[in-house]
Structure 1
């Protein structure tokens, strides 16, 4: 896929992995549209980007999804890549005292159901482009749950299953590419509660995604996730 001259929408783009992807793709000559819930953080992020714009909103809320999708199609009709990066995670143990079902419902809504709906709203638009992409930011947790992230891991596993089916759906069409990125522990505010300071820099995730776009490599393992894609010895 081309890596310059795109118009890219990035949810959760005001910090962490989302902002790192925004910086990388902006530096490579792409128009960037970042999204986040906090207007102040969005404005601070824009100061770190060239010629970028922001759309405030919470994609876990249906009304915001509908509004943002419509704004993209009408105000920024050139958008041809969406990066579904916004996420929610709770660190806790399944010890019967943490209201796991409530936490799971919030994670599943943000990490899975909202992604399906928002992507569905944009797919007819993307299909009309000469070349387009959906990039879902998944997790190393797809391959093995962690006891401190029990229901987050499950929500990302659900996202993985959806992404695979979406990729298969558009494989023969040829112009809509479906990518899935598998970050390990990343040093961001989002992961601070689970020891994120020991993780890789978010720029490493952005660099791996950029290379994958260049190579049309639709599964994008990063760092420790690469062990799950290692080829068996001959």
Structure 2
């Protein structure tokens, strides 16, 4: 699809991967709308972007999802790319009965999966009016295998991965709407600090890979070490069909 002249809404766009995507796409001549929960962080992010705007809100809340989708339709009717990047993750020790694992998992599933399904359904009518549109879901290397540190986060991203495949299949015959999935590995952001994010790749690498994928209509976007795992799983999938 085109990589300039788009109007792009990015959830979780005030920091980390979301901000890096906003910076990359802004520099390439796209209009950027960032979303986040914290007004101060949004204002700081806006100071690092050219001619961007912000819509404050928590997409894990139904009322905010409805309000933001309505605001996009009414004030930014040319929005043609939605980047579902906002997420939640908790260290979740499943061996500790006092850990409240289910509550952590509920928050992750709500933010990383159910909220995205609902928000996507709300903005689909707007996207389907455009001549060139895309939905970009940011999942994770964790979709390929869970781990003991973030087991329920990995499960929520695996659910989003499966939903994204189904959404892509649903619109396979619509050449005006494409569905992308970005698989970051460990990325050096505040979001991942608790799990050793300082050892991860820069967020700008994720943004660069997404930009190239948009230009090439490459709907699967593995990044960094995810590329090897993705290649292996793609081969296995191809051999089973």
- Tell me, in whole angstroms, the C-alpha distance in 1 between the residues paired with 2:138 and 2:76: 22
- Tell me, in whole angstroms, the C-alpha distance in 2 between the residues paired with 1:38 and 1:100: 26
> TM-score w.r.t. structure 1 length?
0.98
Number of equivalenced pairs: 232
What is the match of residue 239 of structure 2?
Answer: none
- Tell me, in whole angstroms, the C-alpha distance in 2 between the residues paired with 1:169 and 1:25: 27
What is the match of residue 140 of structure 1?
Answer: 141
What is the match of residue 194 of structure 1?
Answer: 195
Alignment of 1:82-161 (within 5 A): 82-95=82-95, 96-161=97-162
The residue matched to 2:159 in structure 1 has which SS? helix
Gapped regions of structure 2 (runs ≥ 5): 236-241
- Tell me, in whole angstroms, the C-alpha distance in 2 between the residues paired with 1:12 and 1:154: 20
The residue matched to 1:63 in structure 2 has which SS? helix
The residue matched to 1:190 in structure 2 has which SS? helix
TM superposition shift of 1:92: 2.5
The residue matched to 2:225 in structure 1 has which SS? helix
The answer as to whether partners of 2:92 and 2:104 remain within 8 angstroms in 1 is no
Structure 1 runs (4+) greater than 2 angstroms displaced: 229-232
Gapped regions of structure 1 (runs ≥ 5): none
The residue matched to 2:191 in structure 1 has which SS? coil
- Tell me, in whole angstroms, the C-alpha distance in 2 between the residues paired with 1:64 and 1:24: 27
The reply to whether residue 40 of structure 1 matches residue 46 of structure 2 is: no
The residue matched to 1:154 in structure 2 has which SS? helix
- Tell me, in whole angstroms, the C-alpha distance in 1 between the residues paired with 2:199 and 2:79: 35
- Tell me, in whole angstroms, the C-alpha distance in 1 between the residues paired with 2:174 and 2:42: 35
